[in-house]
Structure 1
Amino acid sequence: MAHPEPHGDLSGRLNWLRAGVLGANDGIVSTAGLVVGVAGASTDRTAILAAGVAGLVAGSLSMAGGEYVSVSTQRDTERAAIELEERELRDMPEEEERELAGIYQDRGLSPELAAQVARELTAKDALRAHAEAELQIDPDHLTSPWQAAWASLISFAVGALVPLLAIVLPPTSWRVWTCAVAVVVGLVLTGWISARLGSGSAGRAVRRNVVVGSLTMLVTYYVGVLFGVTLG
């Protein structure tokens, strides 16, 4: 018999871990593209640092705001679904119990056992039984927009520090290459973590991350070189 996915604390941890990994990955790629592009146009350390810090702050706030809005919408949808389930349980409890039994019967239980399971779960906690079986929602552990927002903000900032520090600390001749190496290492790490969280292929995730990040740096660097030459 297929079981609903686990919720509660595990769901909350996965929520902020997902937001954190995505935020770190975006911080690495977008900030690397920004500072490498500026480095292609100018060797002024202050200009590169200012652009990088501005990108870090703007990106962190943007990621946090976007994640908050997105997860808030999801939470509102979950609440609306639970409220509807509460009304249905109040207005037509017999029909809802039969519906719950039908769900377990569809999952492989015999009609008699499905009816018994539905009856016992309804007697213990009808709302939880229906929310978990029908909606795959734990009514006591809804997704947290603040948790996701803070995870995105902090992780973006941490990810953005990788290319920012790697390009402003070394000597001028080493900046771009040092930044490129640091970014590749960071993208390998975030790709591996995202694959583990999603039970996917680590090799595919790492290759995708590294290719996208490398292309971003390559394109933005030569855009910077073009503007640097033109403006010079």
Structure 2
Amino acid sequence: MPDDVAHEHAEAAGGLNNRLNWLRAGVLGANDGVVSTAGVVMGVAGASTDRTAVLVAGVAALVAGAISMAAGEYVSVSTQRDAELSLLAKERQELREMPAEEFGELEEILLSKGLTPDVAHEVAVQLTDRNALKAHAVLELGIDPDDITSPWSAAFASMLSFTIGALLPLLTITLLPATARIGGTVAAVVVALALTGWTSARLGFARPLPAAVRNVCGGALAMGITYLIGALLGTRL
């Protein structure tokens, strides 16, 4: 029964790193989608009242941004994954070529965590018998061999969330009547940025309110600057 419980806990913990990575990429992607697309459509709206021009610019920003976010996230996480796999391969080779030295390293790590010599030796023996590579990877490298980060999941999450985030300012500014277009878009973006800032802070175990305020201020600044530039360069000058 204890083995079954341990197995269930292992299954529940498995993939946690990938899920957190997916969530992180998703929240950041949505936030970037809201801010960058809102900046583009507000800039065009500052220069022209033509709804078609705003829509075309917004769609272009959405597509380019989603692809760029996915590619950037894939490259970044792939680099992390390659580094993790390389470290695991080196550790696997060391375990094969010098097991005694690696066992000693494992004992030293356990001793540094406050275990007595006898207990550290016994734990090292049991960990080595159970799964030597995983024991060294987790305790020595901080890597779980069963939970290597996936670049594809991060890239897809980033692309999808960017698209969802970008749709908010795009649809708001193109569907609302001209008299409510700017104000409605600003209001929708402020609410969205408050939510993404709060969510990212919660995922990072930080204080939600300061993060939400910073996020809203940054997005408002971006929209204000791009709208002003559009007005200065466009027909509303």
TM-score for the superposition, normalised by structure 2: 0.93
CA contact (8 A) 2:51 2:174 kept: yes
The one of 51, 60, 63 aligned to 1:54: 60
The one of 21, 34, 42 aligned to 1:36: 42
Please report the RMSD computed on the Cα atoms of aligned residues, expressed in angstroms: 1.3
The one of 26, 30, 40 aligned to 1:24: 30
The one of 186, 193, 200 aligned to 1:187: 193
For 2:220 and 2:208, locate their aligned partners in 1 and report how far apart those are by CA, in whole Å.
Answer: 18
Q: Amino acid of the residue matched to residue 151 of structure 1?
A: A
Indicate the residue corresponding to 1:100 in structure 2: 106
How far apart are residue 229 of structure 1 and its match? 3.9
For 1:8 and 1:136, locate their aligned partners in 2 and report how far apart those are by CA, in whole Å.
Answer: 15
Indicate the residue corresponding to 1:109 in structure 2: 115
Q: Amino acid of the residue matched to residue 44 of structure 2?
A: V
For 1:21 and 1:7, locate their aligned partners in 2 and report how far apart those are by CA, in whole Å.
Answer: 22
C-alpha distance 193-181 of structure 1, shift in aligned 2 (>3 A): same
For 2:145 and 2:107, locate their aligned partners in 1 and report how far apart those are by CA, in whole Å.
Answer: 20
What aligned pairs does 1:76-225 form with structure 2 within 5 A after superposition? 76-225=82-231
Q: Amino acid of the residue matched to residue 67 of structure 1?
A: E
Q: Amino acid of the residue matched to residue 193 of structure 1?
A: T
TM-score for the superposition, normalised by structure 1: 0.95
Residues 123-161 of structure 1, C-alpha deviation per residue, up to 9 Å, x if partnerless? Answer: 111001101111111112210000000000000000001
For 1:78 and 1:7, locate their aligned partners in 2 and report how far apart those are by CA, in whole Å.
Answer: 19
For 1:189 and 1:123, locate their aligned partners in 2 and report how far apart those are by CA, in whole Å.
Answer: 48
Identity of aligned residues (%): 59
Q: How many residues align?
A: 226
Which consecutive aligned stretches of 4+ in structure 1 deviate over 2 angstroms post-superposition?
Answer: none
Residues 53-112 of structure 1, C-alpha deviation per residue, up to 9 Å, x if partnerless? Answer: 000000000000000000000000000000000011001101101101111111111122
How far apart are residue 8 of structure 1 and its match? 2.8
For 2:141 and 2:168, locate their aligned partners in 1 and report how far apart those are by CA, in whole Å.
Answer: 40
Q: Amino acid of the residue matched to residue 160 of structure 1?
A: A
How far apart are residue 174 of structure 1 and its match? 1.1
The unaligned stretches of length 5 or more in structure 1 are 1-5
CA contact (8 A) 2:198 2:211 kept: yes
The unaligned stretches of length 5 or more in structure 2 are 1-11
How far apart are residue 7 of structure 1 and its match? 6.0
